[in-house]
Structures are given as structure tokens and as C-alpha cells.
Chains A and B, each alone.
Chain A
């Protein structure tokens, strides 16, 4: 009996070990840059919302996030390091115009994870939609990448996507996935949602250097949960697990009464051992938004 139990335990351990080894995180080899534009207000088509986005492409997963935010974060870290090395109090404006939403596509597990930033990081797990693509014979060159065209109807819109079979990872921007190549450009029939190919580059690996002050203590910036890990590692970061419905409620609340949420951030800072920061929250009036990306099917 005991022998059987030992064997069972060993077997379980081995299995977990196996899966643990198998859980070695995917590292991006290639970065695809997009210029994302979305007509949020149909009365103002001349001025769509635009943002520079980047897709980190791993062996079987992808991480789609804002490139503007990444550049702004990098700049903030550099400025912070300079001020901290100089010593004394520091005052820095952390200005972020990009969005904090990130999409993680895990192809083999059929998982879609969405990360949102609302003072804290929120993680929303979902199933990766199976999209019914129709491949056509059209080809085009994007830079030097030879691509083929495919179309589908997804979340209320008719999308055209160009995928590159030479990059055989089934990922794409936002929630688009499932083609036998990375989707390098996609747009809907009305050109209201456009992921326009900007460029592709090799991933340059290397963890970010931790910010240390003159005494050698490590400083962790408040808004940057990614911390010092290498951005090329495609791994869902730590965050509060929630559902889509719960998050929408939180988002609405934020715009109605910001100070309630700000208290949670102050609480978090005190937990990390730092002084209670002096925070003043203002929520800017939002421009009209009558055209969401996902349209409910009729």
C-alpha cells in the first residue's frame, strides 16, 4: 500500500516537474510594429484614435501591447534612475498617453489573457476564439515579407488580414489569430479598425536593469508592475484576477468617482514600505465613443 502511494506521489511529482519544465516561458524572437487606428466617433471620421502598437511573437504565443506606453515607461525609468542617482527628493511626471491594455495569445492552450491597468493590474482570462478564416489567392509584399490574404467575420466586423507564412506562428494583433502565419496587417471592411503594418524587427534580449539609488537599494516605480523583467519574455504578469463584467463595472466607477480607487493605490504603496505618496487624481473628460471595436451580432 505504502509502496503504491509512494509510487503515486513520485509519479505526480514527475508529472508536475515535467509540466514545470514544459512551463519554461516563451521568449519573443520577432517584434511586429503596427499603427493602430480606430474610428471611435462616427461623427468625426477624420480624426480616429491612433496609437503605435507592438506584437511580441514567441514560438507559440504572442503579446500585443502599446509601443507608446513602452517607450514612455522606458523614458520614465531612465529619468528616474538619473534623479535617484543624483540623490535627494525627486519629482517626476510620469506621463502616459498610450493604453495599458495588453492581449496574450497562447495558441497551444487556446487561451486569451487580457491585462488592463486601472491603478492596479487586472488579469482577465478567456478562451481564444476560433476564427473561421477564408484564405484567398491574393498576395502582397510588406517590406520584404511575402504575405497572403485571408478574410473572416469576427465580432460583428468583416476583417481582411494579411499573414506571412514564413513566420509560422498563429498569432496576430488584438484577438485575431489562427492563420498559418503571423498577421502583419489587418483592417475591417469599413476601415474603422485598422492594424497597419509599420515594420518588423528582431527581438533584442536582455533584462532591464533595476533602478538603484546611491546606497544600492532597489527602487520599484509605482505604476510599473512589469518591474525589471525582460519585456521579451511572454508571460502573464501578476495582477488581480477578475472577469470582464467586473472590470467594466470598475472602469465605469473610476470615471464617476476617481478618489475611491485612488485610495487603493495609496494603500498599496504603504504595503510596499514606502511613504504615503501625495496623489491628486483628475479624470479628463472623455471624447465621444459611439463605435466599439466589437459589435454585437444582430
Chain B
């Protein structure tokens, strides 16, 4: 009995043990190929069916036999056994109890390479603060110039005027092969350099161009650098284009470029009448930021023709022009380490406009209306020259820029307003020159001394005459007369000089600066009436100015920089003593004021991870008015606006606070950024307007008023490897609370503007690419004083299809659709279509291109405009269909 019990107990234990063994399963098997031969050293992995993740693995021996233990706790039914070996196709099988899992593998060649070829997608290389895009990854045969490729790069957006921004931030400079050939006029490069010449487009963050200050003084600038291919560095490069078309159009572009290490040049000559405004090549993208930095506010043009705004369309759809431009940009790197640069440009144009406009101004009690038709002609002649000498070494920095500008603009306008004819001739000649000198040197103690001197002279004599005798009731005591002449000139001398002492250290760099600014101007204006007998009399005894202005500023500034790797911060504390004096003998005006201003600025950038960062800034600025805020004599700015001031200078306190977050994952080409800012401006006076049917009179009232504005914007860009598409999008939201006085009523206004844009660029196949862009603008205006609210919405959609059946033949079809919605009116819809075909003649190494722009021949455009409480409806004449044949060849 006992023995029986013991044996059953032993049997039970045995059974239990074997059951346990079964629970800890071992998968065994053998791997063979299709001929029955063993496949040695195969990798056997255990993967879970859901996530396809490896949970355990083993290697078969040299006879192809393996044994793999299933980890405890895993259900064998949720797992697959996979066999992989180089030279064979992988295979996966399910587990069936304790049965062996054998594999018979099929041979396959180049398996590894197939995986790798798939991953040779466009790729970004990152190195510290520099991000590099390989141009060949993003370009296609249709791209002619580098600007065509830059707008397709993920993370980079190009605005309509050519301004380039990276992940939401505008770039400070575009370098070519490391050299600064064009300063901030980089449209010259993006529109001229052929894309085949550029190897990489590099984005350099926190770019500090001055060698001496690198790693000592922060810069949150982002710069772009185009690296040139080795072959292109040795020879003359050029892409010439000669075109002619109907009805009576021409388009020539002849250029010669050189990109050697020692010598760089972009020289060209171009002319066209197809709506391409050559002045856009010379847009100085950072001009306003630069002027604010050196505290120079040169006087703006006082007079204008008072003509209507240009249509809200792409410029080549409405511009009637006959432009010609010549540009010479040459840079030489001297042997001793200096750099000499000469930039010259000349523009001549003859533009005409043909418009009609109706304007309504809404006031609490009534509405004021006026209408006009216009035929205008503009003839600018602009000459710009710049000479720069730069020595940028670790032990020595010298920079001298000499700039001169000379322009003559003649403008003619035949206006018919509310039934009255008004013909105007406007001559606006500008002459200015400036010299900026900057010298930095380190002392033995490693501290840096700096000397800076800036001198500028501007003069802009303006002369506008109106015929026939316009509004005699206002201008000639009711008597008819022949002509009304307004002349204005504000010759200005400006200088800003300072001395600075920097103490660099590993932790905080201190800078101490002291300097002075002197601005000396005279405003001279006359409004004269020419009677029928040719006698010239002043319009009244209060329509002339002989105003003298002097602004002197003595300033001292302390700045602290923390140029850390994770945390970068900058605190600037400027203190200035300003003295302004102005006098005008005609009005017994003689005032002066002295102010002590403190304008602190703080900005910080914190690297949350290797590629992401947070930025924050706070600014406080005291802004005082300028000479155009205090002239007492009436100036007829445009034929409808008689303007004079009778209050003291406007003094504004401007506070700005902003916060932003920037994300980037270069490995998968994913960028996004969000920014928010708040601006609070309080001013000590407000402009007041009196509007009647024939003209506006504005005076300034000493009324404290406050303007608040909030802005939020976001940008996103992602390249999808699977779809071979770059997706990009952005949103901008602005809310502005301000006040306006019209006809002695105070009207607080709130304007909200929203902009949404989205785009996609796809490479459908090796022969077909297409792109789509949509831009939605919405503006709404509200009055908290029970006035009506107004909304305007405009949606612009652009689509483009490129088809390249062979290397020698390319087709392009594109369309642009505009829709404008507004409350209380029908919607306006316009559609423009373009087509283009390019054929390459190998024997002559020449391309022949046939373009049909606006081939649906849309000839008129109507537009609506809403701002504060003014509503404008305009109608424009458009150039219509243009068919061009171009011959393009490279040097």
C-alpha cells in the first residue's frame, strides 16, 4: 500500500514537472535552403504579432539548427518565429505547440542594399548650429535658379517679396561660398544664381559674423550660406535668356557670375515689359531693423499723388512696365585677409496704371463718399552705389561702408474725382550718401575696444503741381486759377558715434558703450497758386514752412551677454539724454525739450534639448516724434489731404513682450514653431481728422491714448518620405485695439486679422511633380461704440503641375484662383491660368521655352479693402494674355 502511494506520488510529481517544462517552451528547428542544404548562422528572432517587435533571438549553428527559449509570461500564440539570413528572403512562421519550426529559405540578392537604397532619401546633415540641405535632394529639372529650390526646402518659407525665413524667423544674411556679396539684398542671388551651381544650402543659427565676438557676444540671427560646387568655382558661370512675344513683349536677362574663393561676382543686365518689376531685385530686407539699431530715422517722402493702392494680386498679373536694370556686384578677398566689395545698380522703368475707385467712410451719424478714375505713369531712374572694405580677423576687425543713392522719379497722374479733372505732375529727386565706420581691436588684457562712426546726409526735393485750378473755394478764395504747386524738401545731416569697451569672459561678457547722436534738419515747404496771368502767390499765410530742427542725444549703455551652450541671454540697459530744439520764424515757434530715457531690453534663448529651444524677450522703448510731426504750415500731401500740426511732439512709450518655442527634428525633416507677442503703446496725442467731400484736414490733439496689440503665429513643415511630399502650413493672428478721432468724435476700434496658409509639394514620380498652396486672409473691424462691424475674407489658391517626359522636354501647367467674400456684397472670383513648355536642343546646348501667361485673358479686376472704418471698392485694368518665346543658354 505505502509503495503504491509513493510511486503514484512520484508519478504525479513527474507529470507536474514535465508540465512545468512544457510551460517554459524551447522552440527548435532547422533552416535549409530550397536545395536541402543547411543555411548556417541564420538569425532567428521571436517577434510579437501586434507590434512586430523582437522579444528574443538566437543564432543557428553552422548546420542551420537552432534552439530559442520563449521568455516566461509570453503567450506563444501572440508570437511569430522569423528567420533572416543575408542572401535569402526572410520568413516568419507561427508556433504550434512543441512541434519544431523549420524553415526553407529562398535565395535573394542584394537584400541589404535594397534596404539602404530606400533610405537614401533627402537627408539633412546637422553639425552644431549648422543645418545642411543637399540641393540635388530637393531640386527638379524645372528649377532654373536657386530661389526656385530654396522655396521648396522643408523648414524654409519664402514670402512674395523674396524674404526668406527659417522655421518662422527671417534670415539676417545670405552668404555665397562664405562671403557676404550682397548684404541684405539677397534677391539678386536667389533670382540669378543657377541651381546647378549650388552644392548645399546651409542654415546657420546664432550666426555671429564678427570673428572676434564669436562665443562671446550672442546673436540670435539665422543666416543662409550657399556652398558652390567645386567645378563651378573655377570658371565663369552665366545663364542668358532672350525672349520676345505677343502682344509686343520682350524679356532679356544677360548675366555673368564668378564664384572663386578669391573673387566673387554677380553682374547682370536685364530688361522686360512682362510685369517683372526689376526693383524687387534690390529690396533691402533688413533695412528697417538696421535703421532702428543705429537710431537713424531719415525723413520719409512727404508728398504723393494720392493714387489708389495696387491690386491684391501677384505683381506680374497687374503691372504694366518697361523696366531695365543693370547690377554689378564684385567682391575681392585680398591677400592680407581683407575684403573689398563694390555693388552698383541702376534701374530705369516706365510704369502705367489704369484704375477706378469708390471709397466710403462710415461715421456714427453719416457716411462720406468719394469716387475717382485714374491714369497714372511712373518713371523712376534709380542709381545706387556701395563700396565696402572689411577686415575680419581674430585680432582685428575693420568695416567701412560708403553708400550713395541718386534717384529721379517723375510721376504723372490724370485723375477724375467726383466729376472734377485733376492732372498732377510729381517730381521726386533723392540724393543721399552715408559712411559707416567700425573698428574693433582686442587689448593685451583680452578686452575689446570698439569705435564706431556713422555719417549720413539726405536731401529729397519734391515738387508737385496740380492743374487745372483745383477747388478754388479752398485754395484761391473762390477765384478760378491756373495751377497749384507744392514744394517740400527736408535736407538732413545725421551722425552717430560711439566708443565701446567689452570685457569677454567664459561666463558673462560685459559691454559698456558711450556715444552721441546729432540730427540737424530743415523743413522748407511752399504752397503756391499760379494765377491765370502767371503771377505766383502763396496760397495763404499759413501754407509755408521754414522749420529748423536739432536733435542731440548723449547716451551710455551697459550690456551683458551670457553666451552659454544651453542658455543664451542678453540684457541691454541704455540710458540717454535727449535734447530736441525746433523753431520756425513764420509762426513764432521756438521750443525745446530735454528728456532722460531708459530703454531696457532683455532676451533669452534656452535649449530644451539638442534641437529644440524656447525664446523670450522684453523691450521698453521711448519713441519721440520727428520733424514731420511738428510743422505748422499746411502741406498739401496729396490732392485730398491738407496737413498741418498744432501740438507738441508725439511721445510714445512702447513695450513689447514675446515668447516662442521652436522644434526641429532634422533626421526626419520635421520643423514647427509657435510665437506669441504683446505690444502696448501709449502716446501723448492723437491725430484728429476733419473730412469733407473734397479734402481731409488733419490736426493733432493732445489726447493721451493707448494702443494694444496681440499677435500669435505658428509655422509647421514636414517632409513625408513615404509620400515624397513636403507639407507646410502657418497661421498668424493679430488683434489690434486703437482709437481714432474723426469729425470730433472719439471712436475706439478693434481690428482682428487672421492669416492661414497651407501648402504641399509632391514628387509623384520621377517625371511628375505637383504643388498646391492656399492662403486665407480674414480681416474684421469692430467698434465698441455701437458702430457696425465689417468682415472681409480673401482666399488665394495656387496649383502647379510639372511633367518632364524626358531630359529634353518639360511641360508646366499652373493656375491661381482668388475669391473675396465680404458681408453685404456678392463674392468676387478670379482665375488665372498659365502654361509653359521647354524644349532642349542638345546640339546648340540651348533651351527654347514657350510661355502663355494668363491664357484665359482676364482683363479687369475688382477688389475690396477694409481698414478701421473706411471701405474701398477698386477696379483695375490688367495686362491680359502674354505669349512669350525665350531662348536660354549657359555660358
Does the CB pair B86–A60 fall under 8 Å? yes
Option from B43, B53, B120, B668 in Cβ contact (under 8 Å) with A168: B43
Of A89-97, A140-148, A243-251, A255-263, the one touching chain B: A140-148
Does the CB pair A201–B43 fall under 8 Å? no
Q: Is A57 an interface residue (CB 8 A)?
A: yes
Does the CB pair A137–B51 fall under 8 Å? yes
Option from B51, B113, B565 in Cβ contact (under 8 Å) with A202: B113
- Nearest chain A CB to B851's CB is how many angstroms away? 38
- Measured CB to CB, the nearest residue on chain A to B57 is A180
Does the CB pair B119–A145 fall under 8 Å? yes
Instruction: Kindly list chain A residues whose C-beta atoms are within 8 Å of the C-beta of B123.
Output: 143, 199
Question: In whole angstroms, what is the CA distance A203 to B84 when docked?
Answer: 21
User: How many residues of B are counted as interface, with CB atoms below 8 angstroms from the partner's CB atoms?
Assistant: 33
Q: Is A116 an interface residue (CB 8 A)?
A: no
Q: Is B211 an interface residue (CB 8 A)?
A: no
When each residue 187-219 of chain A gets 1 if its CB lies under 8 Å from chain B and 0 otherwise, what string results? 000000000001111110000000000000000
Question: In whole angstroms, what is the CA distance A143 to B666 when docked?
Answer: 9
Question: In whole angstroms, what is the CA distance A57 to B57 when docked?
Answer: 20
Does the CB pair B53–A139 fall under 8 Å? yes
- Nearest chain B CB to A149's CB is how many angstroms away? 10
Number of A-B residue pairs with CB-CB distance less than 8 Å in the complex they form: 79
Instruction: Kindly list chain B residues whose C-beta atoms are within 8 Å of the C-beta of A265.
Output: none
Interface members, chain B 124-165 (any A CB < 8 Å): 125
Option from B41, B117, B118, B667 in Cβ contact (under 8 Å) with A60: B41
Q: Is B40 an interface residue (CB 8 A)?
A: yes
Does the CB pair B43–A180 fall under 8 Å? yes
Instruction: Kindly list chain B residues whose C-beta atoms are within 8 Å of the C-beta of A169.
Output: 86, 112
Question: In whole angstroms, what is the CA distance A167 to B54 when docked?
Answer: 14
Q: Is B487 an interface residue (CB 8 A)?
A: no
Q: Is B62 an interface residue (CB 8 A)?
A: yes
A59-B86, A143-B667, A170-B59 are contacts. A202–B117 as well, Cβ < 8 Å? yes
Option from B54, B85, B90, B121 in Cβ contact (under 8 Å) with A143: B121
Q: Is B247 an interface residue (CB 8 A)?
A: no
Q: Is A165 an interface residue (CB 8 A)?
A: yes
Q: Is B209 an interface residue (CB 8 A)?
A: no
Q: Is B291 an interface residue (CB 8 A)?
A: no
Does the CB pair A170–B43 fall under 8 Å? yes
Instruction: Kindly list chain B residues whose C-beta atoms are within 8 Å of the C-beta of A272.
Output: none
Q: Is B721 an interface residue (CB 8 A)?
A: yes
Q: Is A46 an interface residue (CB 8 A)?
A: yes
Question: In whole angstroms, what is the CA distance A200 to B565 when docked?
Answer: 29
A144-B121, A168-B90, A170-B59 are contacts. A30–B112 as well, Cβ < 8 Å? yes
Instruction: Kindly list chain A residues whose C-beta atoms are within 8 Å of the C-beta of B125.
Output: 198-199
Instruction: Kindly list chain B residues whose C-beta atoms are within 8 Å of the C-beta of A200.
Output: 116, 119
Question: In whole angstroms, what is the CA distance A137 to B51 when docked?
Answer: 9
Interface members, chain A 56-100 (any B CB < 8 Å): 57, 59-60
A29-B110, A60-B41, A168-B90 are contacts. A148–B84 as well, Cβ < 8 Å? no
Question: In whole angstroms, what is the CA distance A107 to B45 when docked?
Answer: 17
Q: Is A271 an interface residue (CB 8 A)?
A: no
Question: In whole angstroms, what is the CA distance A166 to B119 when docked?
Answer: 12
Q: Is B56 an interface residue (CB 8 A)?
A: yes
Does the CB pair B53–A167 fall under 8 Å? no
When each residue 88-130 of chain A gets 1 if its CB lies under 8 Å from chain B and 0 otherwise, what string results? 0000000000000000000110000000000000000000000
Question: In whole angstroms, what is the CA distance A60 to B87 when docked?
Answer: 11
Does the CB pair A166–B115 fall under 8 Å? yes
Question: In whole angstroms, what is the CA distance A112 to B55 when docked?
Answer: 27
Question: In whole angstroms, what is the CA distance A203 to B667 when docked?
Answer: 22
Q: Is A266 an interface residue (CB 8 A)?
A: no
Interface members, chain B 76-121 (any A CB < 8 Å): 84-87, 90, 110, 112-113, 115-121
When each residue 28-50 of chain B gets 1 if its CB lies under 8 Å from chain A and 0 otherwise, what string results? 00000000000011010100000
Option from B56, B84, B118, B667 in Cβ contact (under 8 Å) with A165: B84
Instruction: Kindly list chain B residues whose C-beta atoms are within 8 Å of the C-beta of A143.
Output: 119, 121, 123, 667
Question: In whole angstroms, what is the CA distance A142 to B110 when docked?
Answer: 21
Question: In whole angstroms, what is the CA distance A145 to B43 when docked?
Answer: 19
- Measured CB to CB, the nearest residue on chain B to A197 is B667
- Nearest chain B CB to A183's CB is how many angstroms away? 13
Q: Is A135 an interface residue (CB 8 A)?
A: yes
Question: In whole angstroms, what is the CA distance A51 to B307 when docked?
Answer: 64
Instruction: Kindly list chain A residues whose C-beta atoms are within 8 Å of the C-beta of B57.
Output: 135, 179-180
Does the CB pair A29–B84 fall under 8 Å? no
Does the CB pair A144–B118 fall under 8 Å? yes
- Measured CB to CB, the nearest residue on chain B to A168 is B84
Question: In whole angstroms, what is the CA distance A239 to B842 when docked?
Answer: 54
- Nearest chain B CB to A200's CB is how many angstroms away? 5
Does the CB pair A168–B116 fall under 8 Å? no
Does the CB pair B84–A142 fall under 8 Å? no
A143-B119, A170-B43 are contacts. A135–B56 as well, Cβ < 8 Å? yes
When each residue 230-258 of chain A gets 1 if its CB lies under 8 Å from chain B and 0 otherwise, what string results? 00000000000000000000000000000
Does the CB pair B667–A29 fall under 8 Å? no
- Measured CB to CB, the nearest residue on chain A to B115 is A166
A30-B112, A180-B43, A202-B113 are contacts. A165–B54 as well, Cβ < 8 Å? yes
- Measured CB to CB, the nearest residue on chain B to A60 is B41
Most buried by A among B40, B112, B121, B125: B112
Option from B53, B55, B112, B121 in Cβ contact (under 8 Å) with A29: B112
Instruction: Kindly list chain A residues whose C-beta atoms are within 8 Å of the C-beta of B113.
Output: 29-30, 202-203
- Measured CB to CB, the nearest residue on chain A to B88 is A168
- Nearest chain A CB to B807's CB is how many angstroms away? 24
- Nearest chain B CB to A210's CB is how many angstroms away? 25
Question: In whole angstroms, what is the CA distance A203 to B62 when docked?
Answer: 27
Does the CB pair B668–A141 fall under 8 Å? yes
Option from B54, B86, B116, B667 in Cβ contact (under 8 Å) with A142: B667
- Nearest chain A CB to B767's CB is how many angstroms away? 23
Instruction: Kindly list chain B residues whose C-beta atoms are within 8 Å of the C-beta of A137.
Output: 51, 53
- Measured CB to CB, the nearest residue on chain A to B117 is A202
- Measured CB to CB, the nearest residue on chain B to A142 is B667
Option from A57, A107, A198, A199 in Cβ contact (under 8 Å) with B41: A107
Most buried by A among B40, B54, B115: B115
Instruction: Kindly list chain B residues whose C-beta atoms are within 8 Å of the C-beta of A202.
Output: 113, 116-117, 120
- Nearest chain B CB to A217's CB is how many angstroms away? 31
Does the CB pair A167–B56 fall under 8 Å? no
Most buried by B among A30, A107, A180, A202: A180
When each residue 6-42 of chain B gets 1 if its CB lies under 8 Å from chain A and 0 otherwise, what string results? 0000000000000000000000000000000000110
Question: In whole angstroms, what is the CA distance A29 to B62 when docked?
Answer: 22
Interface members, chain B 690-707 (any A CB < 8 Å): none
Instruction: Kindly list chain A residues whose C-beta atoms are within 8 Å of the C-beta of B45.
Output: 165, 180
Question: In whole angstroms, what is the CA distance A165 to B115 when docked?
Answer: 11
- Nearest chain B CB to A259's CB is how many angstroms away? 36
When each residue 28-63 of chain A gets 1 if its CB lies under 8 Å from chain B and 0 otherwise, what string results? 011000000000000000100000000001011000
Question: In whole angstroms, what is the CA distance A145 to B112 when docked?
Answer: 12
Instruction: Kindly list chain A residues whose C-beta atoms are within 8 Å of the C-beta of B667.
Output: 141-143
Does the CB pair A59–B668 fall under 8 Å? no
Question: In whole angstroms, what is the CA distance A98 to B84 when docked?
Answer: 35
A60-B41, A143-B123, A202-B117 are contacts. A135–B87 as well, Cβ < 8 Å? no
25 contacts between A and B (CB under 8 A): A29-B110, A29-B116, A30-B112, A57-B112, A59-B87, A60-B41, A135-B54, A135-B56, A135-B57, A139-B51, A141-B668, A144-B119, A145-B115, A165-B45, A165-B54, A167-B115, A168-B84, A169-B112, A179-B57, A180-B57, A180-B84, A199-B125, A200-B116, A202-B113, A202-B117
| A interface residues (Cβ-Cβ under 8 A, vs B) | 29-30, 46, 57, 59-60, 107-108, 135, 137, 139, 141-145, 148, 164-170, 179-180, 198-203
Other than A107-B41, A148-B53, A169-B86, give 20 A-B pairs with Cβ distance below 8 A. A29-B86, A29-B116, A30-B115, A30-B116, A108-B62, A135-B57, A139-B51, A142-B667, A143-B121, A143-B123, A144-B119, A144-B721, A167-B112, A168-B43, A169-B112, A170-B43, A170-B59, A180-B54, A201-B116, A202-B113
| 6 interchain residue pairs of minimum CB distance | A144-B119, A168-B84, A180-B57, A59-B86, A29-B112, A166-B115
